[in-house]
Structure 1
Amino acid sequence: MSEFQDAKAVVRAYQAAVDAASPNAVAAVLAVHSAADYLWRGMHPFDIRNGAQEVADAFWSPLKTALTSLTRREDIFMAGRNQMDDFQSIWVVSMGHLMGLHDAPWLGIPATRKMTFLRYAEFSKVDNGKIIETALFCDIPHLMVQAGVNPFPPQTAAHLIQPGPVTHTGRMDVAQDAAEGEKTLAVINAMINDLGTWQSGLPLVEELARTWNDDMIWWGPAGVGATYTIERYAEQHAGPFRASFTNRTGTGHLCRLAEGEFGGFFGWPNFTATATGGFMGLPATGKAGEFRVVDIYRRGGDKLSENWVFIDLLHWLKGQGLDVLGRLNALR
């Protein structure tokens, strides 16, 4: 467990330095805390970047220029060994909101000069005191909605600023009981087995009840929304989603871990599926599309209770022939 605490300390130092850095200084700060061959994955339009300078130029410097007085409001902080490489590597996960004043355009999203929240989930692979790999998912459409340029038709669930865990226990700066993390990972794996096949043979609500508590909360991304209780989740997301796609591939992740009552994963992509129509009010395209997804979970007792979800919808939509950011910039 001391290895987890050491890795967390590396990420805490990185966070403090990046959060305090000016737009012009963030590249130098990243270079101190990351490896020379640093690999960074971000949502569309950032995708894969290499090295501190490229990551700063593409993401952090423009973001810090647009969202002034940027601060981190963290809800979950955990570390664990990655199941996907037979528990060899250690990753640290941070999730919450980056809050700032939207004082300049970013990605063509117009400035509001008002407080704004950018949902984020960041996975950091730590080795030898450095961050060697990052996956940073942020809900760009959520920021667009706040700026008054919602790119999506009405969604099936609720659009909200998303709070952290109802238990307020997600920031795990201290070491956790290893047995609790193993229990969380086991129920996540059981849920993935059900979700990844869509062929359990059970009615959807009964399938979900195998691994979810009845009062579950599913905090979905902008464009899909949040929903509460198994029945409403089935009605407002899981059911419509399954009805909108065929030819779903198996689930693939680059990282999957748990600590205490929390766990999560990300994929690149998690799976592909062919759009047959209906998802987010969109017509069928007949095209297979990639779903890059982050899921963060809280376990309550023996089952899952909360789920924070990030989907790179801009990447998926571009693969379906709709360039949301390109259209936004063309209209301005």
Structure 2
Amino acid sequence: MVDFQAEKSVVREFHATLEAAVGDEIIDAVSTFATADYSWRGYHPFGEITTAEAVAETFWRPLKDALRRMQRREDAFFAGTNETDDHETVWVVSMGHLMGLFDAPWLGIRPTRKLVMLRYCEFHRIADGKIAETAMYFDIPHLMVQAGQDPFPPQTGTFLVQPGPRPHDALLYGPQVPEEGRKTLALINAMISDLGQWNSGMTLEEELARTWHDDMLWWGPHGIGATYTIERYAKQHSGPFRAAFTERSKTQHRCRLAEGHYGGFFGWPNFTARHTGGFMGMPATGQAGEFRVIDIYRREGDKLVENWIFIDLLHYWKSQGVDILKRAVSL
């Protein structure tokens, strides 16, 4: 049985060391666990960063200075081999919230001196006992609304500080039965196949029912929001999204994996599409744009039942000529 215990231990030790680090120790913490050619991809405005020292100085240190006494509140943790490179590499996934006291400005967002929670999900590629590559997406607009600086018009779904999985069983620190992960990955792939065509010949709800439980929970990013049941997901996100875009490219994932009843993927970007209809309360631009997305799924039986979604909406809207972050923090 491939248990990924060594790779999981690297990430768990990194998390513990980083949480305890202050000041210059933050640079040491990231450098100790990263390879010399470390590559990090993050949510706008961070983008691609290519050294551990730069990641620490550009992202981790300013964030920890702003969110004092920051804790990682982890909801999901699992590992697996990457299907997109024929299972050559091993990745470890962590998802949850970074919680702290918002005591200093961050990215121009005004501090509240109150408790806030920054949604995050990260994929780490482990090589020779070190972290060689990371994709880390957050939900900065979700933090902004907690600080009273909501950057978006009212959303189709619901704003929530989002919970973890209903069974509270996604912290897969120990080894799992491989067959369960294979079932989860096969179901995710079937869903991707349906999602990518937009012309199945079925109604949207019929199409979704092929791979989704009727009581599905879709925990979307702020600006779109969360929604519950196939019927409401179709009306409150999937239907409006499909109506707003044309010329959707094929799906392009850099990593896709599963372990146990949990799995997910990320892309850089996942796909491109042309904005030809209104979306998120904003008029069509007619321009193509990139969607950088992380999706995490929970399988129950032979259906997907929960989905946590991170979409870099700040990057997307900037590609459409709207700098959401700059506009919101200048108000």
* Structure 1 and Structure 2 fold alike (TM over 0.5): yes
Residues 296-315 of structure 1 deviation map (CA, whole Å, 9 limit, x = unaligned): 00001001000000000000
Alignment match, 2:171: 171
How far has the Cα of 1:327 moved from its partner? 1.8
2 CA distance for matches of 1:329 and 1:53? 27
Q: Which residue in 2 is equivalent to 1:35? A: 35
What is the CA-CA distance between 1:25 and the residue it aligns to? 1.6
Is it true that 1:304 corresponds to 2:323 in the alignment? no
Aligned residues: 331
SS of the residue 1:236 aligns to: helix
Partner of 2:194: 194
Q: Which amino acid aligns with 1:78?
A: F
Corresponding residue for residue 129 of structure 1? 129
Give the secondary-structure state (helix, strand or coil) at the position aligned to 1:281: coil
CA RMSD across the alignment: 0.8
- Of 193-202 and 251-260, more deviation after overlay is shown by 193-202
- Any runs of at least 4 consecutive aligned residues in structure 1 with deviations exceeding 6 A, and if so which? none
Q: C-alpha distance in 1, partners of 2:110/2:324? A: 14
Contact 2:273 2:288 in 1 (8 A): yes
Deviations 1:121-175 (A, max 9, x none): 0100001100000001010000000000001000001000000000111000111
Alignment-mate amino acid for residue 130 of structure 2: K
The unaligned stretches of length 5 or more in structure 1 are none
1:53 maps to: 53
5+ residue gaps, structure 2, are none
Displacement, 1:3? 5.2
Q: Secondary structure at the match of 1:167?
A: coil
Instruction: Note the C-alpha offset of 1:329.
Output: 4.0
Moved more, 273-282 or 119-128: 273-282
Instruction: Tell me the residue number matched to 1:289.
Output: 289
C-alpha separation between the residues in 1 aligned to 2:325 and 2:235?
A: 30
For 2:158, the equivalent position in structure 1 comes to 158
SS of the counterpart of 1:72?
Answer: strand
Q: For residues 10 and 2 of structure 1, do their structure 2 counterparts lie closer, same or farther at Cα, with a shift above 3 Å needed? A: farther
1:322 aligns to what? 322
Contact 1:261 1:298 in 2 (8 A): yes
C-alpha distance in 2 between matches for 1:211 and 1:232: 16
* Number of the residue aligned with 1:275: 275
Q: Is 1:21 matched with 2:30?
A: no
Residues 3 and 174, structure 2, Cα contact 8 Å, conserved in 1: no
- Counterpart for residue 83 of structure 1: 83
| Equivalent residue, structure 1, for 2:105 | 105
Matched, 1:94 2:94: yes
Query: Aligned partners of 2:14 and 2:266: how far apart in 1?
Result: 21
* 1:184–1:258 contact (8 Å) kept in structure 2: yes
More off after superposition, 210-219 vs 22-31: 22-31
Q: Give the Å deviation of 1:24.
A: 2.6
Name the aligned partner's letter for residue 272 of structure 1.
Answer: T
Q: Secondary structure at the match of 1:180?
A: helix
1:57 Cα deviation from its structure 2 partner:
1.1
> How far apart in 2 are the matches of 1:23 and 1:40?
21
Alignment of 1:206 with 2:191, yes or no, is: no
In 2: Cα distance, 1:74 partner to 1:329 partner: 29
SS at match of 1:299: strand
**Which whole-Å CA distance do the structure 2 matches of 1:252 and 1:125 have between them?**
18
Deviation at residue 279 of structure 1 after TM alignment? 1.2
Residue 23 of structure 1 and its aligned partner are, at CA, apart by 3.5
What TM-score do the two structures reach when normalised by structure 1? 0.98
Contact (CA 8 Å) 1:23, 1:62: kept in 2 or not?
no
What does residue 6 of structure 2 align with? 6
User: Which residue in the other structure is 1:235 paired with?
Assistant: 235
The residue type equivalent to 1:33 in the other structure is F
Distance between the aligned counterparts of 1:71 and 1:38, measured in 2? 24
Determine the C-alpha separation between the residues in 1 that align with 2:233 and 2:133.
Answer: 33
